[in-house]
Amino acid sequence: MTKPLKLNPDRLFPADSKERDIARNLYKSVADLPIISPHGHTDPSWFADDEAFPNPAQLLITPDHYVFRMLYSQGIALSKLGVPTIDGSPTETDGRTIWRLLAENYHLFRGTPSRTWLDWVFAEVFKLDVMLDTETSDLYYDVMAEKLNSPEFRPRALYKKFNIELLSTTEGALDDLRHHKKISESGWDGRVITTYRPDSVIDPEFEGFLDNVEAFGKLTNEDTTDWAGYLNAHRSRREYFRNVGGATASDHGFETATTANLSPQDAEALFNRVIKGNCSAQDAELFRGQMLTEMARMSLDDGMTMQIHAGSCRNHNQSVFQQFGRDKGADIPVQTEYTRALKPLLDAVGNEPSLTVILFTLDEDNYSRELATMAGHYPALKLGPPWWFHDSPEGMRRFREKTTETAGFYNTVGFNDDTRAFLSIPARHDVARRMDCGWLAKLVADHRLDETEAAEIAKDLTYNLPKKAYKL
C-alpha cells in the first residue's frame, strides 16, 4: 500500500505550541526571501550550457555522496549505484535499475537530512504525492525522467524557480573559468560566481602538486619556482577569479587548521624546500600553514573573504579511493584544534576589522570551546554555518545552542548549502530557515529576546549576514 507524501507546513518547528506559533510567524517573514548561496559545489557548466539534466539516478544518486555512502554502508556496492571507476571498468548504467536500489532501501534514510532533502525535491520539484518505496519506484522514475526533459527543468529555469539571487561555485586555481565566462557573455541575468580554491597548488601532498605549480606558473606568466613569483601567481589568479568569475572569496581545505607566520626569509627557505619535491610531512604542514597566512594577507589587500574548512581526513577508505577516487563518501572527520593552530595567522592579521576569515569545523566540540570564543573576540574572525554532516536539523540546533551565547548572532554569516545537489538547494536553505526560526522562537518563549528583535535576526541570518560576510 503506497503512503502519501506530504510536506507538513510546520515541519522542523518546535513541538511546544507557544514556540511553534512564534517560529511559524518568524518563518513566514523569511520564507520568501531570495536564496543567497555563497559557498557550494554545483557545476557551472549547467548554467553555461543550460542543457537538460540526465536521468533521475544520474542526477540524484550517482553524484550525491550522502546518498550513496548510506547505501554502501549497508552492503550495496558502489558499482551497482553507477559510481564510475577510475580504470573505466564498467558499473551499472541503467538509471531505472539504480533508482530501484534507492527505492528498496529508502528506509535507511529515516531520520537523516537526505530524507528531508529528497522528499522536498520529490514533492516540490517533481510534484510527486506518494512516498518512495519498492512499489512506487517505477512511477517515480517515469515521472522524473519525463519532467527532466521539459524546458521548465533546465538549470536556468530552476535557478529562477528556486528564487536564487546568487550562487557560488568553487573552482581550483588552474581552472580557466570558461563556464563562468560563457554565463556572463550569454547575457543571462542569473548570478553564478566562482570561489578561488587553490589547494592543489598549495598543498605539497596534493596529487601532482609540482606539476600543478608548474602549470600555475605558465598560466600566470610568473616564475613559480621562485617564492615571490609563486605569491604573484596567486595574486594574479585571485584577480582573474574576481574579474572573470566574479569571485568575492577564497576557500581552503586542509586536514588541520595549522597556520604559520614565518619571517620572509624563513618562508622563502621553506618554499625552496617544498618546490624541490619530497619535502618532509612537517614541512608540508608548515607550508600549508604559512600559505593560509599569506592568503589572509592577500585578502587584506584585495578584499576577498577567506574561508577555512578544516578537519576532514580525506580518502579514508583505501580500496574505495583506489577504485573510485576522491569524494566518494569516505572522508571522515578528525578532532581539530583551533586555538593554538590559528594563533600565528591571528597574530599577523586577526585584529584587522576589514578582513573576514570564516571558520568551518567538523568537530562540534569546538563550537563552544574554541570557535565561538575566538569569533567573539577577533575582529577578523566569523563563524561559518554547520558544515557537511552537521548541516542537518540537529546539527544546526547544536550550532546555535553552542555558539550564540559567546559569539552572538552577528559573528556568524548565515547559511551555506555547500552542495553539488542543485535540486536540493532550496530544501537545504528551507531547513536552515526553519531551524533558525525555531531557535529564535525558543529565545522569545524564554523571554531572552522580544519578537521584533527575533524577526530582525531571522532576516539577518537569511539574507543580510551572508551578503555582508561574502561582500555580495
Q: Which 437-456 residues touch a copy of itself, going by CB under 8 A? A: 442-443, 445-450, 452-453, 456
Q: Is 138 in the site for a copy of itself (CB under 8 A)?
A: no
Stretch that binds a copy of itself, among 66-74, 185-193, 206-214, 420-428 (CB under 8 A): 66-74
Nearer to a copy of itself, 38 or 329 (CB): 329
Nearer to a copy of itself, 148 or 320 (CB): 320
Closest approach, Cβ 197 to a copy of itself, in A, equals 23
Closest approach, Cβ 25 to a copy of itself, in A, equals 15
Q: Is 359 in the site for a copy of itself (CB under 8 A)?
A: no
Q: Is 27 in the site for a copy of itself (CB under 8 A)?
A: no
Reading the block at residue 427, the C-alpha cell is: 530544501
Nearer to a copy of itself, 225 or 315 (CB): 315
Q: Is 468 in the site for a copy of itself (CB under 8 A)?
A: no
Q: Which helix (H) or strand (E) holds 291?
A: helix 281-302
Q: Is 3 in the site for a copy of itself (CB under 8 A)?
A: yes
Q: Is 213 in the site for a copy of itself (CB under 8 A)?
A: no
CA distance 195 to 217: 20
Q: Is 167 in the site for a copy of itself (CB under 8 A)?
A: no
CA distance 80 to 94: 10
Q: Is 100 in the site for a copy of itself (CB under 8 A)?
A: no
First to last CA, the chain: 49
CA distance 284 to 288: 6
Write out the E strands in 163-254: 164-168, 171-172, 192-193, 196-197, 249-254
CA distance 288 to 434: 37
CA distance 308 to 253: 6
Nearer to a copy of itself, 212 or 312 (CB): 312
Nearer to a copy of itself, 159 or 367 (CB): 367
Q: Classify 325 in phi/psi space as left (phi over 0), alpha (psi -120 to 50) or beta.
A: left
Q: Is 73 in the site for a copy of itself (CB under 8 A)?
A: yes
Q: Of 29, 112, 232, 256, which one interacts with a copy of itself (CB under 8 A)?
A: 112
Sorted by sequence, the CB contacts under 8 Å of residue 384 that are 6+ apart come out as: 39, 307, 309, 358, 359, 360, 412, 413, 416
CA distance 251 to 308: 6
The answer to whether 416 and 113 have CB atoms below 8 angstroms apart is no
b/e string for 68-102 if b means 16 or more Cβ within 10 A? bbbbbeeebebeebbbbeeeeeebbeebeebbbbb
Q: Which of residues 295-354 bind a copy of itself (CB under 8 A)?
A: 313, 316-320, 329-330, 332-335, 337, 339-340, 343, 346-347, 350-351, 353
Show the site string, 254-273: x = touches a copy of itself by CB under 8 A, - = not.
--------------------
Closest CA to 118 of 5, 19, 12, 203: 5
Q: Of 44, 95, 113, 289, which one interacts with a copy of itself (CB under 8 A)?
A: 113
The answer to whether 309 and 288 have CB atoms below 8 angstroms apart is no
Closest CA to 247 of 60, 100, 38, 35: 38
Q: Is 116 in the site for a copy of itself (CB under 8 A)?
A: yes
Q: Which of residues 366-405 bind a copy of itself (CB under 8 A)?
A: 368-370, 372-379, 381, 389-390, 392-395, 401-402, 404-405
Nearer to a copy of itself, 167 or 262 (CB): 262
CA distance 107 to 174: 42
Closest approach, Cβ 469 to a copy of itself, in A, equals 12
Closest approach, Cβ 415 to a copy of itself, in A, equals 17
Q: Is 244 in the site for a copy of itself (CB under 8 A)?
A: no
Give the interface size with a copy of itself as a residue count (CB under 8 A).
92
